[in-house]
Copies of this chain bind each other. A is one copy, B any other.
Amino acid sequence: MEEMQMKKYPANSAGAKMTARVPTVGPDDTIADVRKMLYEKASAFATLSYIYVLDKEGHLLGLFPIREVFRAPDNIKAGEIMNPYMIKARPYTDQEEVALLAIKYNLKSIPVVDKNNKFLGVVRSHTIMNILNTEHIEDLLKSAGIHGIAEKTLNASASKMINARLSWLIIGLIGGVIAAQITQFFETPLKQYFVLAAFIPLMAYMADAIGTQTQTLFVRDLAMRKLDLKKYLLREIKVGLGIATILGLLLYIIGIFWSHIYYIALILGFSMFLTGFVAIFVPIVIILILDRMGLDPAIGSGPFATIVQDVITLALYFLIAVVMLGIFAPK
């Protein structure tokens, strides 16, 4: 029966990860009946943490922990002792959501029911541990732009590793060529004020660093599914303004000491402020688009967001430079 379920549901769903080999009883069964059943069938069960109470049609009514089998009086009925308030998953619920339910509600295992509340099985504690571990590894790998390598990276051959790592790197190369094109376009002002070219790595790095922070927090918060987007964005705007203002001021001061030209310092400081502020929203927009398209936000969150960030940062930086030079620089 388990085998069949494995085939019916998608690989990372509760349905694929559940087992039906758990003790189930009727609401009118007494604790003495439950004990008798356990003595007869204990070998058949994959886990004994909870006893599940089902009605005749197989609807899930409640559950009670194995402890009650030892503690409760002989003649009490399962329907009386059970806890009817349960956290449940559907077979198509994503495995990570199941695991987070267990964490959030302090549960060992999560029952799975169909849309009519018919009991299908249980995602048990060890499976939940494995899900948490796998999702952890996958998140880390995805955010680093490594694909097609599962858990056992340690034993993967060199050529397999190259394969898994190369696809995002080549996309990165294309992004870098676009960045080069943009830089080349501003050759004249950058040659004239070479200090601006010297600060290219700083601008790119800072925007990436800010963006990586945002996307890490946002992917996580989004996975928790309890996000009030308006409130969230409002706080991010405050955070972005705070960070961008502090960094912009610092770079303005550094620029003054570095170049002794106030409008160069102004270009550096204002560019840091604006690209830093924009850097907060680039990953949020990318992740929201991926999420709406039904794709895993973690896929695009790593290297892809960085490339987009780099291109936007450089374009903004050079545009600010050209405009400000046009206003402030002596003709």
Contact = CB atoms under 8 A, between A and B. Distances in A.
B172 A198 contact: no
A227 B48 contact: no
Contact of A202 (B162, B173, B239): B173
Contact of A67 (B45, B197, B206): B45
A37 to B, nearest CB: 9
Interface string A134-172: 011101110111100000011001110110011011101
Which of A145, A157, A161: most chain B CB closer than 10 A?
A: A161
A165 B213 contact: yes
Nearest to A165: B213
A84 interface: no
Given A132-B132, A143-B216, A180 B199 contact: yes
Contacts of A210: 165, 169
Contacts of A239: 158, 161-162, 165
A13 interface: no
A93 interface: no
Interface in A104-135: 106-108, 125-126, 128-130, 132-133, 135
A136 to B, nearest CB: 4
A243 B201 contact: no
Which of A136, A175, A198, A251: most chain B CB closer than 10 A?
A: A198
A125 B129 contact: yes
A194 B186 CA distance: 10
Interface of A: 38-39, 42-43, 45, 48-49, 65-67, 70-71, 99-100, 102-103, 106-108, 125-126, 128-130, 132-133, 135-137, 139-141, 143-146, 153-154, 157-159, 161-162, 165-166, 168-170, 172-173, 175-177, 179-181, 183-184, 187, 190-191, 194-195, 197-206, 208-210, 212-213, 215-217, 220-221, 224, 226-227, 232, 235, 238-239, 242-243, 246-247, 250-251, 254, 258, 302-303, 306-307, 310, 314
